[in-house]
């Protein structure tokens, strides 16, 4: 049987990575023009080892920026149908060494499924180390020295919840057609010396979480009153909102699908 007719299989992959020092998800290199290390390029290079060196394109739920981490990024690729799910995970992880990047789970992709367009919700965490000394143990944080007022941050956050035009919180580089998004969750909690923002939406604009974090920190530091967040949102111009928080504190926690490719379909129960 020629390679062209070899059966192929499309896989959903659950991925974990530490973005420190990596240029982000998206490949910026080509065979002709090598670029900085990206998770997409690393995974495509690992997959090529399983496809007799052929290029294997990989798509993901979201293109995380340089320095951003993932505990549950989701990607898709198609390979010759020669592997069981656990063999595929192990083989990819073998080739991803020694990068801080692993496949947590591999499962056959449902028919018609796409990691980006089938996503029903995305959950991010933004972690702030809120103390005077710089971090020695934690890398995946934004270090903010001034003691944050969480009540004020929560009041500011309440203005962002729901269905809004988020133009003020959108990067100039954002390619989305519409600036309108529905923010389903934006919680602020203190966990020891950390202040953690937990956000959820079906999808986000480029830099939206980091721009919301940078703005809420202005409120927490007392430089902005909480009501200014509402005014920034209404202004519909990037200049009206606060600065973009650094990528270090941001982690893509979870992408939700229905059905979830990583949840095995339960065997049918026999009516008793």
Binding residues for a second copy, rule CB under 8 A, total 22
Considering only residues 69-108, where is the footprint of a second copy by CB under 8 A?
69, 71, 89, 93, 97, 99-104
To a second copy, the closest distance from the beta carbon of 69 in angstroms equals 6
To a second copy, the closest distance from the beta carbon of 62 in angstroms equals 17
CA distance 103 to 87: 11
Choose between 62 and 242: whose C-beta lies nearer to a second copy: 62
Choose between 73 and 168: whose C-beta lies nearer to a second copy: 73
Choose between 21 and 34: whose C-beta lies nearer to a second copy: 21
Q: Is residue 140 within the footprint of a second copy (CB under 8 A)?
A: yes
- Distances in Å between the Cα of 172 and the Cα atoms of 16, 65, 175, 204 are 28, 14, 9, 14
Which of these, 179, 141, 147, 166, lies nearest to 241 by C-alpha position? 166
Which of these, 11, 28, 2, lies nearest to 91 by C-alpha position? 11
Residue 268 in tokens: 């049918």
CA distance 32 to 140: 33
Residues with active-site annotation:
65
Which of these, 143, 153, 149, lies nearest to 199 by C-alpha position? 153
Distance between alpha carbon 147 and the CA centroid of its chain, in Å? 28
Q: Is residue 254 within the footprint of a second copy (CB under 8 A)?
A: no
- Distances in Å between the Cα of 230 and the Cα atoms of 1, 105, 139, 158 are 63, 41, 32, 9
Q: Is residue 137 within the footprint of a second copy (CB under 8 A)?
A: yes
To a second copy, the closest distance from the beta carbon of 197 in angstroms equals 18
Considering only residues 103-132, where is the footprint of a second copy by CB under 8 A?
103-104, 131-132
To a second copy, the closest distance from the beta carbon of 67 in angstroms equals 13
Choose between 129 and 183: whose C-beta lies nearer to a second copy: 129
Which ranges of the chain does DSSP label H, i.e. alpha helix? 39-48, 85-96, 150-158, 208-220, 227-235
The residue within the footprint of a second copy, chosen from 1, 136, 239, 265 (CB under 8 A), is 136
To a second copy, the closest distance from the beta carbon of 15 in angstroms equals 9
Residue 77's contacts (CB-CB under 8 Å, 6 or more residues apart) are 10, 11, 13, 43, 44, 47, 56, 57, 58, 59
Cβ proximity of 252 and 209 under 8 Å? no
Cβ proximity of 121 and 200 under 8 Å? yes
The residue within the footprint of a second copy, chosen from 12, 13, 17, 261 (CB under 8 A), is 17
Choose between 144 and 183: whose C-beta lies nearer to a second copy: 144
Choose between 189 and 237: whose C-beta lies nearer to a second copy: 189
**From 11-19, 74-82, 174-182, 212-220, span contacting a second copy (CB under 8 A):** 11-19
Q: Which residues bind a second copy (CB under 8 A)?
A: 16-18, 69, 71, 89, 93, 97, 99-104, 131-137, 140
């Amino acid at each position: 049987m020629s390679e062209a007719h070899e059966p192929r299989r499309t896989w959903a992959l659950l991925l974990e990575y530490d973005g420190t020092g990596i240029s982000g998800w998206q490949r910026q290199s080509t065979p002709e023009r090598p670029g900085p290390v990206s998770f997409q390029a690393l995974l495509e290079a690992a997959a090529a080892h399983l496809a007799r060196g052929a290029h294997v394109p990989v798509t993901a739920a979201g293109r995380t920026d340089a320095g951003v981490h993932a505990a549950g990024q989701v990607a898709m690729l198609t390979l010759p149908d020669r592997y069981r799910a656990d063999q595929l995970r192990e083989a990819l992880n073998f080739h991803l060494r020694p990068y801080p990047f692993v496949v947590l789970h591999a499962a056959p992709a449902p028919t018609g499924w796409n990691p980006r367009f089938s996503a029903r919700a995305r959950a991010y965490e933004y972690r702030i180390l809120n103390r005077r000394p710089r971090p020695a143990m934690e890398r995946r944080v934004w270090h903010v020295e001034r003691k944050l007022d969480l009540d004020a941050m929560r009041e500011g956050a309440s203005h962002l919840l729901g269905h809004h035009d988020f133009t003020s919180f959108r990067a100039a580089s954002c390619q989305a057609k519409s600036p309108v998004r529905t923010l389903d969750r934006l919680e602020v909690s203190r966990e020891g010396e950390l202040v953690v923002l937990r956000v959820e939406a079906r999808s986000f604009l480029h830099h939206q979480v980091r721009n919301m974090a940078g703005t809420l920190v202005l409120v927490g530091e007392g430089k902005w009153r909480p009501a200014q967040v509402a005014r920034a949102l209404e202004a519909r111009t990037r200049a009206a909102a606060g600065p973009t928080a650094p990528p270090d504190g941001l982690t893509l926690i979870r992408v939700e699908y229905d059905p979830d490719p990583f949840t095995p379909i339960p065997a049918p129960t026999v009516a008793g």
